[in-house]
């Protein structure tokens, strides 16, 4: 069984120190084998002394090299940490980075506001032209009707009598300032008739006037109300059909 010990490599030893230790161990092993022969007794003792001295020197050199390598490694770690540590951002770099979320820190220096964009020029409204009529052709009459309006015909006639024969602009003004509730229904019906004239007959709404307007009876909704002594009386909820006729001015 040989006295050679396995090589143990430590992370702090350098390659040169490890090589020296291997060589000295081999020399020591060969010297111990030579000392067993009878004719090499004196030489073995000298070789042992020499190998022990060289081994001690090699261990000292290896320790020195290990210390130097540890210092170099520590210095390299410090340099690596210094390189990894990011430098503080400037205000311009922070402003150029995109916003990372709702709670992202705002840059120290605010950006200069961008110049306001010039508003686009509005497109000219399409000109309304009166459709050319053939000579001798009948004058178009535009009709609009609203059925089952929840108002009695008598109340509706009290309003429509004011706009009969008026132009569209005058009828709009009259209905806008009439305090009766049915005036809103008449106003909606007037706008519907104007839309029909513009889209279906290619007429201009400002050139029209109210040729005819009337309110007809609609179905009556019957309800009952309890009265004294167990009697019941009728409640008539009347409805009406509203009609407007528009025609262009001569």
pLDDT in tens, 201-243: 889 988 999 999 999 999 999 999 999 999 999 999 999 999 9
Exposed/middle/buried for residue 216 (C-beta within 10 Å: 0-12, 13-18, 19+): middle
**Topology of the domain comprising 142-248:** Ribosomal Protein L22; Chain A (3.90.470)
What pLDDT sits at residue 80? 64
Distances (CA, A) of 231 to 17, 189, 224, 226: 126, 41, 10, 6
Average pLDDT over residues 83-104: 59
Asked whether the CA dihedral 87, 91, 93, 98 is positive or negative, the reply is: positive
DSSP assignment letter at 11: T
Q: Where are the domains of the chain?
A: 15-79, 142-248
Looking at the predicted structure, is the pLDDT value of residue 44 above 70?
no
Confidence of residue 119 (pLDDT cuts 50, 70, 90): confident
> CA-CA-CA-CA torsion for 74, 80, 83, 86, nearest 10 degrees?
-100
Q: Residue 248 is encoded by which pair of tokens?
A: 């262009």
Using DSSP, state whether 146 is helix, strand or coil.
strand
What pLDDT sits at residue 236? 96
In this structure, are residues 3 and 29 in contact, taking their beta carbons and an 8 Å threshold? yes
Tokens 């040729």 locate to: 211
In this structure, are residues 186 and 160 in contact, taking their beta carbons and an 8 Å threshold? yes
In this structure, are residues 223 and 233 in contact, taking their beta carbons and an 8 Å threshold? no
- Rounded Cα distance between 248 and 139, Å, is 8
What pLDDT sits at residue 190? 95
Q: Among residues of the chain, what percentage have pLDDT more than 90? A: 41
In this structure, are residues 16 and 69 in contact, taking their beta carbons and an 8 Å threshold? no
In this structure, are residues 12 and 69 in contact, taking their beta carbons and an 8 Å threshold? yes
Looking at the predicted structure, is the pLDDT value of residue 2 above 80?
no
Looking at the predicted structure, is the pLDDT value of residue 43 above 80?
no
Q: Which residue has the higher pLDDT, 142 or 130?
A: 142
Q: What is the pTM of this model?
A: 0.47
Average pLDDT, the chain: 76
Question: Radius of gyration of the chain from Cα atoms?
Answer: 56
- Rounded Cα distance between 231 and 238, Å, is 23
């Amino acid at each position: 069984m040989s006295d050679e010990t396995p090589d143990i490599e430590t992370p702090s030893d350098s390659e040169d120190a490890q090589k020296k230790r291997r060589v000295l161990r081999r020399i020591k092993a060969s010297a111990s084998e030579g000392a067993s022969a009878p004719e090499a007794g004196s030489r073995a003792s000298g070789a042992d002394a020499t190998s022990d001295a060289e081994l001690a020197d090699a261990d000292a050199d290896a320790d020195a090299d290990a210390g130097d390598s540890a210092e170099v490694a520590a210095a390299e770690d410090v340099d690596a940490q210094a390189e990894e540590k990011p430098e503080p951002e400037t205000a311009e770099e922070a402003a150029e980075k995109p916003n990372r979320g709702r709670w992202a820190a705002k840059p120290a220096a605010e950006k200069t506001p961008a110049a306001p964009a010039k508003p686009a020029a509005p497109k000219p409204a399409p000109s309304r032209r009166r459709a050319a009529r053939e000579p001798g052709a009948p004058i178009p009459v535009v009709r609009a009707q609203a059925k089952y309006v929840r108002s009695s015909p008598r109340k509706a006639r009290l309003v429509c009598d004011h706009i009969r024969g008026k132009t569209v602009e005058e009828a709009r003004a009259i209905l806008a300032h009439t305090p009766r509730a049915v005036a809103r229904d008449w106003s909606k019906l007037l706008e519907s008739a104007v839309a029909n004239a513009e889209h279906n007959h290619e007429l201009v709404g400002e050139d029209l006037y109210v040729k005819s307007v009337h309110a007809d009876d609609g179905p009556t909704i019957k309800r009952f109300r309890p009265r004294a002594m167990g009697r019941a009386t009728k409640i008539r909820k009347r409805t009406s059909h509203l009609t407007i006729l528009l025609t262009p001015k001569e």
